């Protein structure tokens, strides 16, 4: 049996974790959080986006079906609809907006470098 990294974790390796952690600290995203961190929430929502999940129930069922692989995907917290709903409702949206702006800036610099190669 192949024991390498999952496709999802390989994709998430490209995410700038230092930038994400800086955003979380700036907006106090993990304040009074015990188990389901901002990083867990981001990984769950990224997984949902990549796999075209349509609802919290759909996300929960899909992630729980891969329960033994969650740790290897980078998700350390417990997955439930209420936990996801609470995190989506209570966490500051500016964390993810700032991360998106950072990723867009990186993509623009990569695109501008590729435009000169052609």
Place of tokens 């949902």: 48
CA dihedral 40, 70, 52, 84 (to 10 degrees): -40
Identify the DSSP state of 52: T
Q: Given CA atoms 75, 77, 81, 83 in this order, what sign does their dihedral have?
A: negative
Residue 115's pLDDT is 61
> What confidence tens digit (pLDDT) does each residue in 87-117 have?
999 999 999 999 999 999 988 888 876 666 5
Structure pTM?
A: 0.84
Tell me: pLDDT of 1 over 60. Answer: no
């Amino acid at each position: 049996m192949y024991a390498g990294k999952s496709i999802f974790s390989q994709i998430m390796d490209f995410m700038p974790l230092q930038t994400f952690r800086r955003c979380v600290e700036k907006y106090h995203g993990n304040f009074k959080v015990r188990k389901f961190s901002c990083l867990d929430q981001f990984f769950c929502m990224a997984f949902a986006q990549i796999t075209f999940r349509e609802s919290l129930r759909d996300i929960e069922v899909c992630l729980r079906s891969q329960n033994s692989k969650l740790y290897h995907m980078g998700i350390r917290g417990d997955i439930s609809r209420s936990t996801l709903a609470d995190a989506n409702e209570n966490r500051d949206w500016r964390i993810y907006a700032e991360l998106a702006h950072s990723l867009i800036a990186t993509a623009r610099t990569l695109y501008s470098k590729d435009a000169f190669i052609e």
